[in-house]
Structure 1
Amino acid sequence: MSSGGETPKLKSQGSRHDTTNSSLANIGGAQQNLQVLNDRKVLMIYASGATAAEGEVSESHMTVLKGRLEQRLKNISFLCDLEYTQYHNQEGCLTTPISEFGRRTVYKVMELEQITNSRQTSYVDIRHIAEIIKENYEKYSAFVILSGIATITYLGTNLSFMLENLQKTVVITGSLIPLSFMRNDAFQNILDSLILAGHFLIPEVVIVMDHKAYRANRCRQLKCDSLDCIESPNFPPLVEFGINIEIKWQLVLRRGEQMFTNDESTLELAPPFVTDIIIIKITPYTSVEHIRHILNTPKLRCCILECYHFGEMPHNQELYNVLLYAQQQLGIILIQISQCTKGQPIINFKKVVNGIIVQYDITPESAQAKIAYLLGKGYSQQEILRKFPQNLQGETESVRQFEKFEGQKQHFIQTILETLQKTSGDEQISQNMDIMNKYIIPNLGCFLATTGQLELIKDLRRNEGNLNIPDFDGRTVLHLAAANKQIEIIKYLIEEVHAEINPIDYLGYSPMYEVLISRDKELLLFFQQNGGIISAPHHVMVDLILSSGLNGDLQMLELIFHGGIKNLNEFVNVDNRNIAHMAVMSMNSKIIKFLRFKAKFDFSERDRWGSTPYENAIEIKSKKIKLQMLNEVSINEIIEMLATIGNE
């Protein structure tokens, strides 16, 4: 594989929080009270397929030249901001333009040694990709894999089982028409994949195709001649890319719910899969002799039977005897799945019948990968009969018959716990409390904070709810209370609960930033007195500060300054122009006075063209730059102040 050099590891904050917050910088002896979120770094692995191919559309006639993918990505402005990339090149990475979410995605292109036709993909190839992800897991925030369409569902399904304790987003995409064609599907699929990987934490393996992101192990290729060739017949898409990006967070796989551990774990590769597995499709032409012959294949460990309807076999005693012999004498595990593409779970449906696993709501790809995974784990036949019907990685729906929830009860948290206890089967009550803390309380608490329901938030805490745990956007109860100016809830969280005052969400914002943009001076001072900091992505603060200077928004600048950000010289745009340059352009003498007397601003710094704010003012005065409605009084006052500063 071609890695193109070692990439520095990202700093991590906890196992689920991959934000990379810089430490508080000490500039000019004064502590800069701002944390900066670096843009997320994504590893793009080109494994197979026609994405960067030359020649005919048909994958069998494609030619892939080494390095051509990166060349093409550089030439597409929406996938690579070439000027920014050249100025901020990180070990050969490319950088996207700023997205609608106000951030860039930095990504490294890695090509495998041999970019093959995806029809040649083997288990060894899939395992190799999993090992690459494992090797680079701590260096990158997310992963994008470019694959050929022919085997993309097999790749995604197998990776979903290989990557145990996955806490980062893994996106697989591909295309039917290469980037080399003017009209292609590669561009949009790559763009959607980079946006998803670079902005959102969806800790599972997903396939992105045709403006949708699906859970990989629920996907089938249902078409061969259409750009929407990948579908998820029995599970809705997790993400839809429309006018807005709609993420169905309630469907995102919660790792703790399926494979629960009390401690957060790092990524582990599952043991090598056992691949001695065969799939037989039952038809009226399938004879007992055919099946007997196949089941006598040397080293065969499992036979998956694609049966009729709900996974039903023909009623044939001779066939039953053959299957019974294979199971009991040869030790072959038998699994019956349905040939039907669609089918929802039925309550009380039997999962094991006469020692044969029956599971109709699973794809053939998932059934194969799942049993290979369980066999690789070394489980006995009895253990596999118990584990295979379980929902391990979101590959099948686990059926739970929930009672009607009465939300009107006074102690509604106890009601939730009672409901979980009644419907959790053999799960331990302590696990239910952990699930409550990780998945229910964060979202419920955020909702209650938004609507100002202090008493219900107190009820959450009385029932051992941890109000510091973030939701899937990394936002805590305090974030939402601050954003909605719920002063009583904020004071309760900080003064009584002693909640963490500076949690950073996945986009890099602290609760105090929410207060800043609401312009509530008293609340801002309350946060600062309790140790709060204004934290936001650096480019967001640059835009906020410079636009305040340009628009003469002195109130916002004073809030920023009194909120703890003292060194305003630190914030410059791509042209190295600072707030003083902006204030001169708008001829705002009040901003200049604030910068001089309160902020102790350094006016000597030069922009990209070598000009100081004073030289800009002289240039405006001399009419070298023509501005409408030139205010001679203001520009003269600014020149006089800046000249005085220069003489001091």
Structure 2
Amino acid sequence: MAPRPSFNDGSDPGDLVVVVDDGTEVSHRSLRTPISAYQKHIRYAVFECEELLDSSSIDAKGWSHIAQTIFRNYKLFDAFIILHGTDSLAYTCSALSFMLQNLGKPVILTGSQAPMLELQNDAIDNLLGSLIIAGHFMIPEVCLFFNHELLRGNRSTKASASDFAAFTSPNVPPLAIVSSTRTHVSWDRIYRQSHLEPFSIQTSHATGTVACLRIFPGIEPRMVEAVLQLEGLKGLVLETFGAGNAPGGRDGALTKVLANAVTRGIVIVNITQCMTGTVSPLYEPAMLLERAGVIPGHDMTSEAALAKLSYLLAMPGLSPEGIVQKMSVSLRGELTEQANMVFEHPNVILPDRLTKLTSLGFAISQGDAAETQRLLDDKHGWLLNEADYSGNTPLHIAATGPNPEILRILLTKGASVHLRNKTGRTPMFLSADAGLDEHVSLLKQSGAHLHANEMGIARLHAQVRSPDVWSMAGVTSP
């Protein structure tokens, strides 16, 4: 990447610290991109795994390694890009979306159909596009970037073995599209954390106990029974016809096979074989499956259903009833709970943006929780990560505001704790600098931390005032 002007402006930005597999900190050479259309450089380092795999060979162990690497380096970087082969890319995206819990920073996976060293390739565009999005936009999701489109990772599937447009997101439009001049982000589609919990990972994944079976015309119930009798099987993803239909077989034999498996504790999820659409009990066969205890998978992809079921089966202390309940609801934006037609607010920035933002800032500074709540209704949720002339978001203002309840409102609505204003300050720094321990506690509970570039000045401030608050914010001795 260093010889390519698009990836390296020729400066020497110095080394960046990367925490490697054994937990030690190692200096890695960093590069810096030329200045972007958004008047920013992107500084980055490349970490290469010791063991490189063909993507068709990746398994739960490989997913766990990726998750652990992100976890170890979470506080050192603003975003993460994972370079991955295309064969199992959608599976890894889906698995990581569940393993990375309460994610507050962008994680973008990308790859290419043709390698970078070939004259005609898509590798440069895919990697550069991923860097631009990761370096400029706080999209706290596991995403897949390919062919100028940013897709939600657990909604994506591979659609072509040879085209540059290799991936598609059948039931959700792209989260962002990169054009020749700008990146257009659909902020209303972004999935945000709404729990006051810090970032964590679940590395266990029960892929070895879940099977995936595609129904076809004439399938014999004994074939399905053979799969369901496999030793150690705990879950089955059933790919059915249309809106979730499957042949009942003579005297409903297939339905009985599935019902018996459910009574034995095997969790069965019904998803459609169709590229688009959702499982819905519109017809009698689908109704019979649901009555037999088969869970409707709504509009999940096969990859997402497999990853989600494996994730839930490995979750400590989760009962079979709890698994059934969680499979039916959206955990990371992987399914549409409301299948009926709904009306959405137009995807445009309202003409009175500045008026709304100013009104919100005034309400926050006055400690008016009711007015803040009113302004942040569904039509104005885009205000959460908007910034004023100094780069302060509503969360920055609330971080030093008089009412911690407003801070809680913003956090539960998905405001990003990792955005920095034009002076490079996070909400956590501002709260600690103001000596507001309750604000700091709320932010920390939501996964906020001081940015690496703030730590030096934070240590100096801690020597002067509020050392306990600074310690709560994460200031450690040099």
TM-score by length of 2: 0.71
Partner secondary structure for residue 306 of structure 1: strand
Question: 1:175, 1:185 within 8 Å by CA — same for their partners in 2?
Answer: yes
- The within-5 A match list for 1:312-461 is 312-316=245-249, 317-328=252-263, 330-343=264-277, 352-378=290-316, 379-399=318-338, 447=353, 449=355, 461=368
Residue in 1 that maps onto 2:470: none
1:24-54 deviations in Å (ceiling 9; x for gaps): xxxxxxxxxxxxxxxxxxxxxxxxxxxxxxx
- The within-5 A match list for 1:588-603 is none
Residue in 1 that maps onto 2:157: 220
Cα distance change on mapping 1:139 and 1:78 into 2, 3 Å: same
- Distance in 1 of aligned mates of 2:82 and 2:344: 42
Cα distance change on mapping 1:446 and 1:172 into 2, 3 Å: farther
1:475 aligns with 2:475: no
Given the alignment, which residue of 186, 192, 197 partners 1:254?
192
Partner secondary structure for residue 188 of structure 2: helix
1:320-351 deviations in Å (ceiling 9; x for gaps): 221122221x3211111110010158699989
1:414-436 deviations in Å (ceiling 9; x for gaps): xxxxxxxxxxxxxxxxxxxxxxx
Read off the aligned partner of 1:270 and give its amino acid letter: Q
- Distance in 2 of aligned mates of 1:93 and 1:140: 12
1:170 aligns with 2:107: yes
Question: 1:449, 1:457 within 8 Å by CA — same for their partners in 2?
Answer: no
Read off the aligned partner of 1:461 and give its amino acid letter: D
TM-score by length of 1: 0.53
Question: 1:345, 1:397 within 8 Å by CA — same for their partners in 2?
Answer: no
User: Per-residue deviation at 1:116?
Assistant: 2.0
Given the alignment, which residue of 219, 235, 245 partners 1:302?
235
Question: 1:475, 1:506 within 8 Å by CA — same for their partners in 2?
Answer: no
Partner secondary structure for residue 321 of structure 1: helix
Question: 2:280, 2:296 within 8 Å by CA — same for their partners in 1?
Answer: no
- Distance in 2 of aligned mates of 1:313 and 1:347: 12
Specify every segment of 5 or more residues in structure 1 that has no aligned partner in the other structure, as ranges.
1-72, 407-442, 482-489, 511-537, 539-648
Question: 1:450, 1:480 within 8 Å by CA — same for their partners in 2?
Answer: no
Specify every segment of 5 or more residues in structure 2 that has no aligned partner in the other structure, as ranges.
17-26, 408-416, 424-452, 454-478
1:145 aligns with 2:78: no
Residue in 1 that maps onto 2:4: 76
Given the alignment, which residue of 94, 109, 120 partners 1:183?
120
User: Per-residue deviation at 1:74?
Assistant: 0.4
User: Per-residue deviation at 1:509?
Assistant: 2.6
User: Per-residue deviation at 1:252?
Assistant: 0.2
- Distance in 2 of aligned mates of 1:146 and 1:405: 34
Question: 1:347, 1:399 within 8 Å by CA — same for their partners in 2?
Answer: no
Question: 1:213, 1:240 within 8 Å by CA — same for their partners in 2?
Answer: yes
Read off the aligned partner of 1:465 and give its amino acid letter: T
Question: 1:220, 1:232 within 8 Å by CA — same for their partners in 2?
Answer: yes
Residue in 1 that maps onto 2:212: 279
User: Per-residue deviation at 1:471?
Assistant: 4.2
Residue in 1 that maps onto 2:449: none
- Distance in 1 of aligned mates of 2:215 and 2:41: 51
- Distance in 1 of aligned mates of 2:111 and 2:344: 43
Residue in 2 that maps onto 1:435: none
Cα distance change on mapping 1:291 and 1:344 into 2, 3 Å: closer
Partner secondary structure for residue 240 of structure 1: strand
Question: 2:357, 2:386 within 8 Å by CA — same for their partners in 1?
Answer: no
Read off the aligned partner of 2:126 and give its amino acid letter: N
Question: 1:446, 1:480 within 8 Å by CA — same for their partners in 2?
Answer: no
Q: Which moved more, 1:367-376 or 1:267-276?
A: 267-276
- Distance in 1 of aligned mates of 2:357 and 2:261: 61
Cα distance change on mapping 1:227 and 1:392 into 2, 3 Å: same
Cα distance change on mapping 1:222 and 1:247 into 2, 3 Å: same
Q: Which moved more, 1:359-368 or 1:446-455?
A: 446-455
Read off the aligned partner of 1:354 and give its amino acid letter: A
1:390-411 deviations in Å (ceiling 9; x for gaps): 01000001218799999xxxxx
Cα distance change on mapping 1:475 and 1:94 into 2, 3 Å: same
Higher-Rg member (1/2): 1
Residue in 1 that maps onto 2:421: 508
- Distance in 2 of aligned mates of 1:132 and 1:451: 37
- Distance in 1 of aligned mates of 2:401 and 2:171: 48
Residue in 2 that maps onto 1:266: 198
User: Per-residue deviation at 1:266?
Assistant: 2.3
Partner secondary structure for residue 114 of structure 1: coil
Partner secondary structure for residue 211 of structure 2: strand
Read off the aligned partner of 2:302 and give its amino acid letter: P
Q: Which moved more, 1:469-478 or 1:390-399?
A: 469-478
Read off the aligned partner of 1:335 and give its amino acid letter: V
Partner secondary structure for residue 107 of structure 2: strand
